[in-house]
Structures are given as C-alpha cells and as structure tokens.
Structure 1
Amino acid sequence: MSADFNPADPFAMFRQLLQSATPPGAQPFLPPMTVEEVERKLAELRVVETWLTMNLGMLSMQIKTLEMQKAALAAMQPKDK
C-alpha cells in the first residue's frame, strides 16, 4: 500500500489508478477533439464490437452443443417402468 492510503476514503484507490494511467496534463474524461481522434476511436470501438460479437456467437454455439448433448444423453437413458 502507498503511504497516503486512507481506509476512510473509498475512492482513493481509483483516484490513484486514474492519476497513474493518464499522462501529465491530459484530462481523462474529455471527448476527442479532432476528426482524426474521433475516427480512430470509432475504429477501435468497431474492432471491440466485432470481437464481442464473435465471442457471443461462440458462446451461443457452445450452449446449443451442450443442450444437444444433454438431449442425446437423456435419450440414451434406459426407461424404467
């Protein structure tokens, strides 16, 4: 822990993280100011969206496969009278 850790301040850790993550003089929550920055940010977000969509598709396929496997196992169980 750092020397200025104060357990009474719940946001101290986030404040310290934010200060270490931003370069000096930069303000982290200001929106991009140039067209190039906006286009770059849009491209980054589209890449993330594509990645998330691919992962969602793989997750859905795995769920469907497990459901089919469950149904197949249930069909192979002997019927008790």
Structure 2
Amino acid sequence: MSADFNPADPFAMFRQFWQNAAPSSAQPFMPPLTEEEIDRKMAELRVVEGWLTMNLGMLAMQIKALEMQKAGLAAMKPKDH
C-alpha cells in the first residue's frame, strides 16, 4: 500500500487518479464524439429513458394494487369492541 493511503478518505484513490492524469487526457472517460455519434447516443439514451419510465409506471401500479389489497383486507377484518 502507498504511504499516502488513508482509509478514512474514500475518495483518495480517485483524487490520485485525476492528479496523475495527463493534461491531454482531461476527459479520459469521454472521448471526442462526432455529431453522428452524439445523435446515436442520444437516441439510445431516449430508448433507455422510455424503458425506465415504463417500468416506473408499472412499479407505481403494483404499489397502488398492494395498497388497495391491504385496504380491502383491513376493511374485512373483524373489529374488536
């Protein structure tokens, strides 16, 4: 392990990575894109967004159905006097 390792600092590894990065690679994870690549990536992300939106709607419907089921069970439960 490095002498600079500090277990209390979870971001030390990332900080060291960015400090050691060459100035020419200021964006090591995002290479320059052409206009066509940007359009393709945006289209892909819109498809993912639509899929996530659909799943969020289905999740909300399941929650509502369970809430209704719980309310129905509570309504049929005998009341103690």
TM-score bracket relative to the smaller structure: 0.5 to 0.7
Residue aligning to 2:61: 61
Query: Percent same amino acid at aligned positions?
Result: 78
Deviation at 1:32, TM superposition (A): 4.4
1:48 CA displacement: 0.4
Moved >6 Å (runs of 4+): none
Map Cα deviations across residues 4-63 of structure 1 (whole Å, 9 max, x no partner).
xxxxxxxxxxxxxxxxxxxxxxx9612442110000000000000000000000000000
- For structure 1, the residue ranges without an aligned partner over 5 or more in a row are 1-26
TM-score, length of structure 2 as denominator length: 0.64
Aligned to 1:35: 35
Q: Sort the Cα spacing of 1:28 and 1:47 in 2 relative to 1 into closer, same or farther, 3 A.
A: farther
**Does 2:55 align with 1:76?**
no
Q: Distance in 1 between matches of 2:79 and 2:63?
A: 26
> TM-score scaled to structure 1, two decimals?
0.64
Supply the RMSD in Å over aligned alpha carbons: 3.1
2-side partners of 1:32 and 1:72: how far apart? 57
Q: Which runs of 5+ in 2 are unaligned?
A: 1-26
Aligned length: 73
* CA distance in 2 between partners of 1:32 and 1:41 (Å): 13
